[in-house]
Amino acid sequence: MCFFNINIFTIYNRKIKNTFFTITLISAFAILIVGCNQQPTASAPTADMQQKTYHWKMVTTWPPNFPIFQEGVDRFAAEVNTMSNGRLNIKVFAGGELIPALQTFDAVSQGSVEIGHGAAYYWAGKIPAAQFFTAVPFGMNAQGMNAWLYGGGGLTLWREIYDRHNLVPFPMGNTGVQMGGWFNKKINTVKDLKGLKMRIPGLGGKVLAKAGGTPILLAGSEIYTSLERGNIDATEWVGPFHDERLGLYRAAKYYYYPGWHEPGPVLELIANKAAWQSLSDDLQKIIEVAAASANVWMLSQFEANNLSALRKLKEEHKVEVIPFPDEVITALRNHTKEVMDELSSGDAEFKKVYDAYTTFSRDNDAWNTLSEAAYQKTR
């Protein structure tokens, strides 16, 4: 679906339709969680397990006090403590407070800490197929991703892949459709992407490379300084709410949409497998329910706050909000197909997940044509 011929407020309104999903999902959570058979099977709890108090450390890839992301993790830890009646206490460390942000995967995998939060595409160098569990360029939005993970077998695949790394993953957050990013020059043609140094992770970065750009992976805390100093020419981050708070409008002139690279990026909770298996089944369920609660809460916060932040960027900070030209979007879509085919040809695991993702996505799009998209045309 192409968004570039409509204005930014229309794009936001299209995103609003996904609030149907939020309302429905909240209503259905008890059924989804109780009926889900995808989580690892826990052994019957012993009396000692039921009485034991656990003290876990949790690390994240986010800066300290980072709204929604780190805030959501703190809420998760507090809810786990409350629901467990103090039997499972989780101390949260933001990126850099205990370990560097992008070492979260290794720290949890090795058991240095019990649990962590980040985004699966950060670990693309270790597990190329992990990128499907965050976002696919021109792929499914938040509603589609949740449908695939909770109801379409995506979570089963995710856990199979992470198992050899001693990890148990859970969906825990989503930003909704993101913005296309901040640029220090206008992107009028595909040629303007050549040589462009842009902070953009995951599959989107590989697509940019196909177009002649240079993708760079940076933690959130490094983005503003790198853009301001000219170490990078452009950056994607999240959306208006976070981008305005990070002050990116002071470091770049042009704000592009839509976020072709991340239409519905999932955030992940990862638990060390041995630590997870040490818990009684009720504590495992508490973690699962708290993660699902945070998944809805984070997406809802983004949907509720992005438009007011966009108004502030345009009216107070005089940011120029620009759609990517048709030519650029078409080229990026074509490069996406090339990237996906190339990665599938050389990686059986990647191809397995790609096939599953594509099959579900096609069915989801077909249903969406008759449901959400058809309804939107009537408004």
Give mean pLDDT, residues 10-26. 39
Q: How many helices (H) and strands (E) does the chain have?
A: 15, 11
Separation of alpha carbons 268 and 148, rounded Å: 15
Residue spans of the domains in the chain: they are 15-39+51-176+265-305, 181-262+308-339
Give mean pLDDT, residues 58-79. 96
Does residue 247 carry a pLDDT above 70?
A: yes
Percent of the chain with pLDDT over 70: 87
Q: What is the pLDDT of residues 109-125, one digit of tens each?
A: 999 999 999 999 999 99
At residue 45, the pLDDT reads: 53
Does residue 17 carry a pLDDT above 50?
A: no
Mean pLDDT value across the chain: 89
CB atoms within 10 A of CB 125: 9
Separation of alpha carbons 32 and 288, rounded Å: 11
Domains 15-39+51-176+265-305 and 181-262+308-339 equal at CATH topology level: yes
At residue 50, the pLDDT reads: 65
Give mean pLDDT, residues 163-185. 97
Does residue 35 carry a pLDDT above 70?
A: no
Q: Indicate the DSSP class of residue 45.
A: P
DSSP calls for 223-267 = HHHHHHTTS-SEE--S-HHHHHHHTGGGT-SEEEE--TT-SSPEE
Domain range 15-39+51-176+265-305, CATH architecture: 3-Layer(aba) Sandwich (3.40)
At residue 220, the pLDDT reads: 76
Q: What is the CATH number of domain 181-262+308-339?
A: 3.40.190.10
At residue 147, the pLDDT reads: 98
**Per the structure block, which two tokens stand in for 85?**
């009646």
